[in-house]
């Protein structure tokens, strides 16, 4: 075989490989693909491998013209490979490995482990609260009515001897929760006092409408029901304290219900 025929065959094969690589990359192009396809890498590698084999055979036969014909004929593939790997720095795109299959027993074991971890965390939080805020006062059914530090919404002193000036911020919060539940056609008092017990951990319970010393047995109007519902929406308060220890304290808050006109 003459060197010219060998050159033409190598050139035609190189052009076919380059065209196949371009078509393959165009058809399988995706935005998330930052490398060339594995099929394109195989075509380039295989054509270069055949060229190296031809060069080795030409060296053995001491045919310098055949070596030059192979090198020049494979120049399109060589240039494309150089551009891809040396200039572009791309690597073959391989699909990510599929995640390992987890059996139903392993999934159940993972779920149980997470539940146990959450239970341990919750128990640790309760123990931390009990250590930091030990309860040494009365039982929640027998609260104090006065304390060295009365309960509050903000942690500041909000209690005042006059009921109308006491717990102003707490009363405004109850007002905002109660107003949307009022019936505009129903007449009601402009202020409804509500009493409730603030526990040693800031929880609120035993909420009752209280106009005097004796609390009411229930809500007799929609306005009173709205106030009680607003109390149930309150966040945890800062508990009252006696000698620095949190205790249950019962307070009365005058909730304004007058709608500004």
* pLDDT recorded at residue 73: 74
* pLDDT recorded at residue 94: 47
The fraction of the chain above a pLDDT of 90, given in percent, is: 13
Q: How confident is the model at residue 93 (pLDDT cuts 50, 70, 90)?
A: very low
pLDDT digits (tens, 9 = 90+) for 196-244: 999 998 899 889 998 877 777 677 788 889 999 999 999 899 999 998 8
Q: How far is CA 241 from CA 77, 120, 141, 205, in A?
A: 85, 30, 17, 17
pTM above 0.75, yes or no: no
Indicate whether 48 pLDDT > 80: no
Q: How far is CA 201 from CA 63, 230, 242, in A?
A: 96, 20, 14
Q: How confident is the model at residue 113 (pLDDT cuts 50, 70, 90)?
A: confident
Mean per-residue pLDDT over the chain, rounded: 78
Q: How far is CA 43 from CA 55, 77, 183, in A?
A: 18, 10, 80
pLDDT digits (tens, 9 = 90+) for 52-64: 787 788 788 777 7
| Residue 98 forms part of a structural domain | no
| Chain-centroid distance, C-alpha 181 | 34
- Domain, as residue range, for 51: 3-93
Please identify, among 93, 113, 132, the residue that sits at the C-terminal boundary of a domain. Answer: 93
**Number of CB atoms found within 10 A of residue 214's CB:** 8
**Number of CB atoms found within 10 A of residue 163's CB:** 14
* pLDDT recorded at residue 36: 66
pLDDT digits (tens, 9 = 90+) for 124-175: 876 776 666 555 444 445 789 888 899 998 888 887 777 667 788 899 999 9
Please identify, among 93, 112, 135, the residue that sits at the C-terminal boundary of a domain. Answer: 93
| Residue 156 forms part of a structural domain | no
| Residue 121 forms part of a structural domain | no
Q: Is 55 exposed, middle or buried (0-12, 13-18, 19+ CB in 10 A)?
A: middle
The fraction of the chain above a pLDDT of 70, given in percent, is: 82
HEC per residue, the chain = CCHHHHHHHHHHHHHHHHHHHHHHHHHCCCCCCCCEEHHHHHHHHHHHHHHHHHHHHHHHHCCHHHHHHHHHHCHHHHHHHHHHHHHCCCCEECCCCCCCCCCHHHHHHHHHHHHHHHHHHHHHHHHHHHHHCCCCCCCCCCCECCCCECCECCCCCCCCCCHHHCCHHHHHHHHHHHHHHCCCCCCCCCEEEEEEEECCCCCEEEEEECCCCCCCCCCCCHHHHHHHHHHHCCCCCECEEECCEEECEEEEEEEECCCCC
Q: How many domains does the chain have?
A: 2
Tokens of 229: 């519902």
Better-predicted residue by pLDDT, 188 or 1:
188
| Residue 132 forms part of a structural domain | no
Indicate whether 31 pLDDT > 90: no
| Residue 21 forms part of a structural domain | yes
Indicate whether 181 pLDDT > 90: no
| Residue 123 forms part of a structural domain | no
| Residue 144 forms part of a structural domain | no
* pLDDT recorded at residue 228: 92
Indicate whether 4 pLDDT > 90: no
Please identify, among 33, 59, 93, the residue that sits at the C-terminal boundary of a domain. Answer: 93
Compute the distance between CA of residue 172 and CA of residue 151 in angstroms, rounded to an integer: 16
| Residue 149 forms part of a structural domain | no
């Amino acid at each position: 075989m003459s060197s010219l025929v060998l050159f033409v065959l190598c050139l035609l094969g190189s052009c076919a490989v380059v065209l196949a690589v371009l078509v393959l990359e165009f058809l399988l192009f995706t935005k998330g693909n930052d490398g060339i396809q594995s099929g394109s890498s195989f075509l380039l590698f295989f054509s270069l491998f055949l060229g190296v084999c031809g060069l080795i055979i030409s060296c053995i036969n001491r045919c310098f013209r055949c070596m030059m014909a192979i090198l020049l004929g494979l120049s399109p593939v060589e240039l494309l490979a150089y551009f891809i790997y040396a200039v572009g720095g791309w690597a073959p795109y391989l699909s990510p490995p599929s995640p390992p299959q987890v059996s139903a027993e392993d999934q159940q074991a993972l779920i149980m482990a997470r539940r146990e971890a959450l239970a341990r965390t919750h128990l640790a939080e309760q123990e931390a609260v009990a250590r930091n805020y030990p309860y040494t006062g009365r039982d929640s059914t027998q609260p104090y009515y006065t304390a060295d530090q009365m309960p509050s919404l903000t942690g500041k002193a909000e209690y005042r001897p006059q009921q109308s000036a006491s717990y102003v911020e707490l009363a405004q919060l109850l007002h905002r929760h109660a107003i949307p539940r009022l019936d505009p056609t129903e007449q009601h008092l402009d202020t409804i006092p509500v009493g409730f017990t603030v526990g040693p951990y800031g929880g609120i319970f035993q909420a009752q409408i209280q106009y005097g010393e004796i609390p009411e047995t229930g809500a007799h109007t929609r306005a009173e029901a709205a106030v009680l519902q607003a109390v149930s929406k309150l966040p945890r308060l800062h508990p009252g304290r006696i000698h620095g220890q949190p205790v249950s304290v019962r307070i009365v808050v005058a909730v304004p219900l007058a709608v500004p006109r």
